[in-house]
Structure 1
Amino acid sequence: MSYQDARRLGPGRLVVASHNPGKVREITALLGPFGIEPVSAASLDLPEPEETGTTFIANAELKARLAADLSGLPAIADDSGLCVEALNGDPGIFSARWAGEAKDFGFAMQLVHDRMEATGPDHGRDAHFVCALAVAWPDGHLESFEGRVDGILVWPPRGDRGFGYDAMFQMDGHAETFGEMDPAEKHRVSHRADAFAKLVAKLIA
């Protein structure tokens, strides 16, 4: 689809199709300057769909479509995760599931570390975060974008800002982990910011 054919995303209510408070906060902060009024899926009592896609984009699209269908409003969904080179890209699209039913990312980070250690003493620490954003409208129109940042994993985790695996991820060119970084700086440089910049260029700017 060309930029000329893209659907514009104007001011008004937009459902953030996530029950993850950290993601909702970050997406809300990114949308704020554009006159868009984010409404969380949780506040509308929308269900969380089973993520049956095999890619970040596919999972973001199915979440956005469901939220738009049920709410009658445009909806934005995020699917993101940590991909570790030494683990052949895991946890990848299963990043949230590694935290278990309790959403315990302390446990998930320990699991990543333990599995890396089990690969042997020569494992690398390279990793990257991926964020896929999908925007769906109630009439079925859909736009998708993907962002990425590269870095290394540190142990033990550092910092209590951010969420998920942020405290063990140090982005290339930065001395702080995402867990230590000022939220405004993370919003500027993260994988979610990369995907959002592409969204803005096509749908808002």
Structure 2
Amino acid sequence: MTPLSVVVEDLAYVAVPDAMSGAKTACFIRPNCSGQILKDSVFPFSFSIYVTAGRATGFYARTVSLFARSNEDGIGESTKIAEVMYAYTVVNPTCSIGSATSLELQFGRLSSNDVDFVRRTANIDINCLAGVQATAQLVPTQKAIRTGISATTLDGLSMGATWVDNGQAVDFNTARRFTLLKGNNLIRLNFRPTVNAGASPVGEFSSQYTLNLTYP
């Protein structure tokens, strides 16, 4: 019987423009694991690799090797039994949000004559280094009632949401495609309180949404 322990060793970590040597891990070193197998035995194995992506832009690559170490005669020689290489590139996003990431629209005091007519507009500025295709999906925090209409925190009062550029009600279940041009772009949304049929709501209300923008 030949005692065998296994270690994982990072052979190289190559980052642009920096580089640093790898280091052995202790995840397979006894007493974290133990046991013996016959010399020249064939056995299955698996291991996982976890990495934190670099923050600087550039190309990153790493080679991870798995070694078997024999303790026969106390020599402790290691033999490479597997090697995995992976690489990734960190790039600056093509677009960035120019406006505040959190917008608050105030409706003030509303009377029964105001509701259904008062609107507030959210303006989202997006700055792009190049023209790209993007998608935008508005997700209400309160319950979505139907296309363009979601509940508020006040019973009997709902909130309508429409895209300003085409006047269409927002489909909360579907992302809308946008062509963003190089430079400044503006996505605008209108919000309008709506009294539910047969209701007479009185009190304070709020309504929250998250606009998910996806772009390269």
TM-score by length of 2: 0.24
TM-score by length of 1: 0.25
Higher strand share: 2
Higher helix share: 1
Q: Which has the larger Rg?
A: 2
